Amino acid sequence: MGYSLKKIDRELGDKHIPLMGVLAAFIFAAQMLNFPVVGGTSSHLLGAVLAAVLVGPYASVIVMSVVLIIQALVFQDGGVTALGANIFNMGVIGGILGYHIFYIVKKFRGENSGILLGAFVAAWFAMFLGAFAAALELAFSGTIPLKIVLPAMLSIHSIAGVGEGLITVAIISSILKTRPDLFEVVR
């Protein structure tokens, strides 16, 4: 987190203050909306890639961290001791790795379709890799054996990742149509 604080985009300026604010507020609120997925499970927007696409990888880590910290401390949603891991899994992996995946696909494909495809792929990977990391951490801490927790986490989150991808793309697509200037932070 400290590293991200240091490396925030050079472009971040006063005018991005409301964007960062409502982005974090939006992601927090959206994360409250659980929708049913397969077999008695639910999923909700993660939002890391959405943030990364709009404000860049490092700022997105800050956004996700604020959301996660408040969820844990004020709402007891997500453990306090697990907070570091959560910030890494969802914020850093989702935000930074997700951003770079997005960037690569975007460069490859170009134009708006590149942005949307990149966002979808990045969002799916953000879920998938985040779940992967969480499984590794659980196994590494001796809580659950890897061969049990890994398939369990990956199966649910591969499906949830599709939802995340679709929602992320829908939101980005509408921003592209109405306020394409908001993408200027991300080159």
Told to check if 2 binds another protein by CB under 8 A, we report: no
Contact of 64 with 47, CB cutoff 8 Å = yes
Please identify which residue in 111, 142, 143, 177 interacts with another protein, judged by CB under 8 A: 143
Q: Is 25 left (phi over 0), alpha (psi -120 to 50) or beta?
A: alpha
**Residue 168's closest CA among 105, 119, 130?**
119
Q: Of 29-37, 97-105, 112-120, which part binds another protein (CB under 8 A)?
A: 29-37
Please identify which residue in 42, 107, 110, 141 interacts with another protein, judged by CB under 8 A: 42
7 CB contacts (<8 Å, ≥6 apart)?
58
Q: How many residues bind another protein (CB under 8 A)?
A: 58
Which C-beta is closer to another protein: that of 116 or that of 149?
149
Considering the complex, what minimum distance in angstroms separates the CB of residue 107 from another protein? 26
145 CB contacts (<8 Å, ≥6 apart)?
139
Told to check if 8 binds another protein by CB under 8 A, we report: yes
What is the chain's Cα-based Rg?
Answer: 16
Please identify which residue in 77, 108, 110, 166 interacts with another protein, judged by CB under 8 A: 77
Please identify which residue in 52, 117, 129, 131 interacts with another protein, judged by CB under 8 A: 131
Please, which residues bridge with residue 43 across strands?
Answer: 35
d(CA 185, CA 14): 12
Told to check if 142 binds another protein by CB under 8 A, we report: no
d(CA 68, CA 55): 18
Please identify which residue in 1, 3, 17, 111 interacts with another protein, judged by CB under 8 A: 17
d(CA 63, CA 102): 18
d(CA 47, CA 30): 8
Which C-beta is closer to another protein: that of 110 or that of 145?
145
Told to check if 174 binds another protein by CB under 8 A, we report: no
Site residues (vs another protein, CB under 8 A): 5, 8, 10, 12-14, 16-26, 28-30, 32-36, 40-44, 62-63, 66-67, 70-77, 79-81, 131, 134, 143-144, 148-149, 152-153, 156-157, 160, 178-179
